[in-house]
Amino acid sequence: MIIADNLINSKIEVLDKLHQITGVRPTFYQIDVTDEARVEEIFANHNIDVVIHFAGLKVVGESVSKSLEYYCNNLINTMVLSKMCVQHGIGKFVFSSSATVYEDWN
């Protein structure tokens, strides 16, 4: 298990919890997934067979006030990970949309 995360929406302690649950200590890279060169290094140095993408930002109110930041982050993350999957022959890609419940903002 490999995790790449910039920790803006998570905490490093999650790695300990994952280890407790699975018995496996994840390999962790503190990077921004929009950094294509760093993501390429990870893909080049590991035998990856599936990618699960949780790298999107998902706070509803903030997504309205910082819409361009959210759009760029979420779009670029998905594009970089998709590109790496294609380049490295990875045919399994799971995109997790947010579990956020949206309300009417009108």
What is the tens place of the pLDDT at every residue in 65-84? 888 888 888 889 899 999 99
For the whole prediction, is pTM greater than 0.85? Answer: no
Burial class (CB in 10 A: 0-12, 13-18, 19+), 67: exposed
- Rounded Cα gap, residues 11 and 91, in angstroms: 29
Q: What is the pLDDT at residue 103?
A: 58
